[in-house]
Amino acid sequence: MNNANTKTISDEQTLRGAGVRVTAVRLMIWRTIHREFSGIFNLAELEQKLPTVDKSTLFRTLGLLSENHLLDTIDDGSGSQKYCIRNPEDPQSEMKHVHFNCRICHQTVCLTEVTLPEVTLPSGYTVEDTEYVVKGVCPKCAGK
């Protein structure tokens, strides 16, 4: 019981710490993402987990969580926007991880142990977003 209570506080603190104004529905969406997905997910998959929340609310909340660096958006070339938790261990961290897209099975996976190197741009350029998708063959397909 006590444990569950601690968890409630920490989810709220995570959102607040990231600069997100906490509402019941945002908290529910964030918790669902945390509980249900360990890697990459898309809007349709989240919709299945939360059939009571309308799609535009889900979409807006995903955008908000991405803007506040809790989620990463991934464009893996599949044409549909995908998301993942930027840093499940430490949601406050600004550190991004690398994604790998397999050209044979077309799966995109999070390589959370590989973090993005800092990119230094010439003066006058401002970084707003960095995305790092490595393409190749995954261990499963390489073994076939």
- Which residues of this chain interact with Zn ion, rule CB under 5 A? 84, 102, 104-105, 110, 138, 141
Instruction: Choose among 73, 43, 71, 37: nearest CA to 56.
Output: 43
CB nearer to Zn ion: pick between 21 and 144: 144
- DSSP states along 69-98: TSEEEE--SSSS-EEEES-SS-TT----EE
CB nearer to Zn ion: pick between 62 and 102: 102
Give the shortest CB-97-to-Zn ion separation in angstroms: 5
Give the shortest CB-124-to-Zn ion separation in angstroms: 30
**3-class SS at 130?**
coil
Map 10-57 to HEC letters: HHHHHHHHCCCCCCHHHHHHHHHHHHHCCCCEEHHHHHHHCCCCCHHH
Give the shortest CB-98-to-Zn ion separation in angstroms: 8
Sign of the CA dihedral with 88 first, then 89, 92, and 98 last: negative
Give the shortest CB-86-to-Zn ion separation in angstroms: 7
CB nearer to Zn ion: pick between 60 and 106: 106
